[in-house]
Amino acid sequence: MQPNHASGPASRLAARRLTISYTHRTVVRELDLEIPDGSFTVLIGPNGCGKSTVLRALARVLKPSGGEVFLDGTPIAGLPSRHVARTVGLLPQAPITPDGITVAELVARGRYPHQGPLRRESPEDRRVVERCLEQTGIGDLAARPMAELSGGQRQRAWIAMALAQDTELLLLDEPTTYLDLAHQMDVLDLCARLHRDGRTVVAVLHDLNQAARYATHLIAMRDGAILAAGPPATTLTADLVQQAFDLPARIIEDPESGTPLVIPRVHR
Amino acid sequence: MSRLVTAGVTASRRRPVLVGVGCVVLALGIALASLEPGSLFTSMTSADVFVFEQLLLPRVLIALLAGASLALSGAVFQSLTRNPLGSPDVLGFTQGAATGALVGVTVLGGATLVVAGSAWIGAVASAALVYLIARRGGVTGGPRLVLVGIGVAAMLGGVNDYLITRANISDAAQAALWITGSLDGSTWSGVVLLAAAAAILMPPLILASRALRIFEMGEDLAVGLGLRTELLRLSALAAAVVLAATAASQTGPVAFVALCAPHVARRLTRASGPNLVPSALVGAVLLVAADWLARYAIPDRELPVGAVTGLLGGGYLAFLLAQQRRTGRI
Ligand SMILES: Nc1ncnc2c1ncn2[C@@H]1O[C@H](COP(=O)(O)OP(=O)(O)OP(=O)(O)O)[C@@H](O)[C@H]1O
Ligand SMILES: [Mg+2]
């Protein structure tokens, strides 16, 4: 099949003229979006601007009222659901913890798209679950009920579940909420490692400095539209912070990483 | 580490098996006790043989099958509505079945077969109505289903009250007994019907356990994991409603078995997920035990089995929910 250079998206995951409405309110209008292959893309923007909405549409959890999401050049709506689930993983912002579930069981549920209707857990499934528990540093919590964990431990179990889905594209909605600073860094380092190993990672983050430090591609949103997209070094400017958040700020160089560091101005 | 993972998964798999075995033993034990085995060893008159073969045996078998069917259906509903108070009643099931039965008694003459058939139609029709109203843009949110169900149940309740006020005393009493739930009319054809429904509908529902487990994690995650949630919701709801309606056509909508058995099962197995098989087994135990009590609790006076399950099941459920509330669950 000839790729269509005129209108076909260049990257594996992209959206064209995406319009998304909840009951009667249109939240995202005619959005064009490109997730560069092999990137660590970070979505930033104020509360309620539509970051989660876009992420959910990219994972086909939400049906857009207009436009299309493309996965590998094909409209995602027409692809078999299991194929999509093996290619794109989504960790929602507020997942529901089932009653009485242990950490290991939760993580094992990430293997669902890899199992047949009758097939139980394979040795491969078990290996992946173990690896994901290890990677998120919760191996010793495996047998504990989720209900008895701290918020941060629970969040890491959810990340492990998303990892266990073992997809080449991974969408994480605010993976660092509830985590202490050290564990935030752990999760971002883990994302960076996954990205280095060849995966495409998309994350919503609220900490602009972390976004600037870890992202290879930054997308800034406001009111359901994209304000700017590109490498953090050139994209994250004082102007952008003002436009996106109405926040006067200075940008200096992060002495540790050389990436932009956002310093909000003191209100007088 | 690897041991811990295995422990985390298998610890929760051994208990359900133990609970299942325990339930089977208990159900069969009570069933045997209900069959009054003492009389088998003494010389039986032909009247005794008739009572045993045509009344007692079908009655116990129907109790086992209907209990399991109602409970399994309740467990599926709790899973699909992601609501611990889910049961076929969420879709106006009891009220719909009652409307059907009342029409059967007051309008269509009240023959057992007619009442069973019209109750079945009433239950399935009200469930279908609720589903269609709640469906919007191809999606049926769990909460929307519950809310529409409450509305339709209230309307049907009004219809039922009207039908009862219009009925003569004996019709009204027959209908009231049917609605409470009773195993009195148990026949072999009822046994065959329930066994057939169980054989056709239970295996696919039990196979859907894995999908239901994923479904319980919320719409976003379930769809993200590749589950076709609307298809699962429609097919599992339909199978569960038909299973419960078939059971109820023989026994009446025996109160609380569907709501209560899954909670007891979960409490016993301490396993996550829909717990379908343990729920069905607990339901079977619950109904034969309730029937045994209904016949022997008060000497020389038989209670309708629905009154017993209502008292027992309702009491236990209140205790259970109050306790879970205290420990911060639910
Ligand atoms: N299920 C829903 N029904 C109706 N409106 C919704 C729903 N979910 C989100 N919205 C609205 O859509 C808009 C975008 O929401 P979204 O969750 O995408 O924001 P967000 O950028 O992820 O915000 P946050 O940073 O707070 O997570 C908001 O105005 C929100 O009120
Ligand atoms: Mg969000």
In a domain, residue B22? The reply is no
Is the beta carbon of A94 within 6 A of some atom in ligand 1? no
Question: Chain A within 8 Å of B38 (Cβ-Cβ)?
Answer: no
Spatial contact of A16 and A9, defined as CB atoms under 8 Å apart: yes
Question: Chain B within 8 Å of A131 (Cβ-Cβ)?
Answer: no
Mean pLDDT value across residues B219-223: 92
Closest CA to A174 of A241, A231, A95, A121: A95
Question: Chain A within 8 Å of B209 (Cβ-Cβ)?
Answer: no
In a domain, residue B31? The reply is no
Higher pLDDT, B271 or B73: B73
Least confident range from B58-67, B146-155, B167-176, B227-236: namely B167-176
Q: Tell me which residue in B2, B5, B226 faces A84 most closely, judged by beta carbons.
A: B226
Per-residue pLDDT at B70: 95
Per-residue pLDDT at B134: 86
Give the CA dihedral B12, B241, B167, B306, nearest 10 degrees.
Answer: -20
Closest CA to A170 of A186, A152, A158, A179: A158
pLDDT confidence band for B297 (50 / 70 / 90): confident
Q: Which of B225, B228, B321 has the highest number of chain A CBs within 10 A, making it the mutation to test binding with A? A: B225
Give, as residue ranges, everything with CB less than 5 Å from ion ligand 2: A 52, 93
CA of A53 to the centre of ligand 1 (A): 6
Asked if residue B41 has pLDDT above 70, the reply is: no
Copy the structure tokens of residue A137: 């540093």
What's the CATH code of the domain at B127? Answer: 1.10.3470.10
**Number of Cβ atoms within 10 Å of the Cβ of B273:** 23
Question: Chain A within 8 Å of B85 (Cβ-Cβ)?
Answer: no
Spatial contact of A202 and A175, defined as CB atoms under 8 Å apart: no
The span from the CA of B56 to the CA of A116, in Å, is 44
Q: Tell me which chain B residues have a C-beta less than 8 angstroms from the C-beta of A81.
A: 223, 226-228
Is the beta carbon of A26 within 6 A of some atom in ligand 1? no
Per-residue pLDDT at A1: 42
CATH of domain A13-237: 3.40.50.300
Q: Which of A58, A102, A154 has the highest number of chain B CBs within 10 A, making it the mutation to test binding with B? A: A102
Q: Is the dihedral of CA A247, A252, A253, A256 positive or negative?
A: negative
> A with B: how many residue pairs have Cβ under 8 Å apart?
111
User: Nearest 5°: CA angle at A199, between A193 and A204?
Assistant: 80
Over residues B20-33, the pLDDT tens digits come to 888 888 878 887 77
Q: Tell me which chain A residues have a C-beta less than 8 angstroms from the C-beta of B270.
A: 100
How many Å separate Cα B16 from the centre of its chain?
20
CA of A94 to the centre of ligand 2 (A): 9
pLDDT confidence band for B51 (50 / 70 / 90): confident
Residue type, B232: L
Residues 161-220 on A with a CB inside 8 Å of B are 165
Sheet of A66-71: strands edge to edge? Answer: A25-35, A13-22, A66-71, A74-75
Q: Is the dihedral of CA B172, B173, B176, B181 positive or negative?
A: negative
In a domain, residue B271? The reply is yes
The span from the CA of B231 to the CA of A82, in Å, is 14
Close Cβ partners of B127 (under 8 Å, ≥ 6 residues apart): B88, B91, B92, B93, B96, B237, B241, B245
Q: Which residue ranges of chain A lie beneath pLDDT 70?
A: 1-8, 119, 268
Spatial contact of A205 and A43, defined as CB atoms under 8 Å apart: yes
CA distance A68 to chain B (A): 17
In a domain, residue B204? The reply is yes
Q: How far apart are the first and last CA of chain A?
A: 61
Are B7 and A142 inside 8 Å of each other by CB? yes
Question: Chain A within 8 Å of B217 (Cβ-Cβ)?
Answer: yes
Q: Tell me which residue in A61, A103, A140 faces B223 most closely, judged by beta carbons.
A: A61
Copy the structure tokens of residue A152: 């941060």
Closest CA to A235 of A219, A222, A221: A219
Residue type, B16: P
In a domain, residue B9? The reply is no
Per-residue pLDDT at B305: 86
Q: Tell me which chain A residues have a C-beta less than 8 angstroms from the C-beta of B212.
A: none
pLDDT confidence band for B330 (50 / 70 / 90): very low
Q: Exposed/middle/buried for B141, CB within 10 Å: 0-12, 13-18, 19+?
A: middle
Higher pLDDT, B8 or B173: B173
User: What is the percent of chain B with per-residue pLDDT over 70, rounded to a whole number?
Assistant: 89
If one counts the domains in chain B, the total is 1
Per DSSP bridges, beta strands A66-71 and A217-222 are unpaired
CA of A206 to the centre of ligand 2 (A): 10
In a domain, residue B48? The reply is no
The structural domains of chain A, with segments of one domain joined by +, span: 13-237
Is the beta carbon of A48 within 6 A of some atom in ligand 1? yes
Are A90 and B220 inside 8 Å of each other by CB? yes
Q: Tell me which chain A residues have a C-beta less than 8 angstroms from the C-beta of B4.
A: 104, 139-140, 142-143
In a domain, residue B37? The reply is no
Full residue range of the structural domain in which residue B62 is found: 54-326
Copy the structure tokens of residue B318: 């209140």
Q: Can you give the pTM of this predicted structure?
A: 0.86
Q: At what angle do helices B276-296 and B257-269 cross, to 10 degrees?
A: 120
Q: Tell me which residue in B4, B220, B228 faces A142 most closely, judged by beta carbons.
A: B4
Question: Is this prediction's ipTM beyond 0.90?
Answer: no
CA of B220 to the centre of ligand 2 (A): 13
In a domain, residue B139? The reply is yes
Higher pLDDT, B330 or B174: B174
Mean pLDDT value across residues B305-316: 83
How many Å separate Cα A83 from the centre of its chain?
19
Q: Which of A18, A31, A49 gets mutated to test ligand 1 (max ligand atoms within 8 A of its CB)?
A: A49
Question: Taking the CA atoms of chain B, what radius of gyration do you get in angstroms?
Answer: 20
Per-residue pLDDT at B69: 96
Is the beta carbon of A232 within 6 A of some atom in ligand 1? no
Question: Chain B within 8 Å of A77 (Cβ-Cβ)?
Answer: no
